Amino acid sequence: MVYTNVRDGNIKSYNFLPNQTLYLCKVQVFRAESHYLPSNEIYEIVKSLKNGHVGIFPTDAVYTMACAFSSNKGIEKLCKLVGKKPSQANLSLICSDYEMVSEFTLSYPTSVFRLMKTVLPGPFTFIFKANVRKFRGYENRRQTVGIRIPDEPFLLEVIKQLGEPLVCSSLHSEDDMLQYFAEPEEIENRFFETIDLFVDDGPGGFEPSTVVDCTGDEPVLIRQGKGKL
């Protein structure tokens, strides 16, 4: 079976086996220019996220799949796409600024704040004790939460206008050697029938964010990634 999809004025055809389920999902594709998008496109992305849609976005590390924090519909779909039950999914948050971070975390030492100011925005995930009141509607009653503020200007503007964080999961590849999807065309071809929007900002990275545990008295490096301390 061949399905022809029209995006950005280009016609693309896809082959499907007879027993494959075909989801006719209209994907909105946006092309960023040097990490920026025009205001009208940012508005469209924010509107889509408010409607419970799931998108794939570039970050300063690897491409990520995300939805709005308050969208139960989006979170349920995101968890299905990453193959996790909502009660078991360990999803991170992408915030636009430190004020938003403070809403979803408990207080942390001044030394941690100084470290964050030094490296953010950047390819880091900081693990904090979660403000559990913010996660009351979640099946996963989490005690800790991973926080990112990536160096991706358009994405920070999207979150700022959305007024809440994005819930996210890195876009893992089925290729054991590469681990992450990085080529925009490959991402479109792989996910066009399951996601709602995609922002193409050119080839992504293969190195994930550096993870730092800030739940104790001093920060502890958990995973060395792209970010250098």
The answer to whether 68 touches 162, Cβ cutoff 8 Å, is yes
pLDDT at position 121 is 98
Residue 13: pLDDT band with limits 50, 70, 90: very low
The answer to whether 62 touches 110, Cβ cutoff 8 Å, is no
pLDDT at position 23 is 39
Spatial distance between the Cα atoms of 2 and 147, rounded to a whole number of angstroms: 41
Q: Please give the torsion angle defined by the CA atoms of residues 117, 98, 81 and 135, in that order, rounded to the nearest 10 degrees.
A: 130
Per-residue model confidence as pLDDT tens digits over 68-95: 999 999 999 999 998 887 777 778 999 9
Spatial distance between the Cα atoms of 71 and 49, rounded to a whole number of angstroms: 8
* Residues whose CB is less than 8 angstroms from the CB of residue 95 and which lie 6 or more positions away in sequence, other chains included: 101, 104, 147, 148, 149, 159, 165
Spatial distance between the Cα atoms of 81 and 195, rounded to a whole number of angstroms: 9
**What is 25-223's CATH number, 3.40.190.10, 3.40.50.300, 3.40.50.2300, 3.90.870.10?**
3.90.870.10
Residue 25: pLDDT band with limits 50, 70, 90: low
Please classify residue 200 by burial: count the beta carbons closer than 10 Å to its beta carbon, then call 0-12 exposed, 13-18 middle and 19+ buried.
buried
The answer to whether 105 touches 135, Cβ cutoff 8 Å, is no
Spatial distance between the Cα atoms of 31 and 21, rounded to a whole number of angstroms: 28
Rounded to two decimals, what is the model's pTM?
0.86
> How many other CB atoms are found less than 10 A from the CB of residue 217?
9
**Residue 162: which region, alpha, beta or left (left: phi > 0; alpha: psi -120 to 50)?**
alpha
Residue 4: pLDDT band with limits 50, 70, 90: very low
* Residue type present at position 85: K
User: What are the domain boundaries of the chain?
Assistant: 25-223
Structure tokens at 62: 């690897």
Spatial distance between the Cα atoms of 85 and 202, rounded to a whole number of angstroms: 31
CA atoms within 13 Å, Cβ hemisphere of 10: 6
DSSP class of residue 110 equals H
Per-residue model confidence as pLDDT tens digits over 133-192: 888 766 556 789 999 999 999 999 999 999 999 999 988 766 555 588 999 999 998 998
Structure tokens at 195: 């996601």
pLDDT at position 122 is 98
Structure tokens at 115: 């470290």
3-state helix, strand, coil in the chain (%, to 5): 25, 25, 45
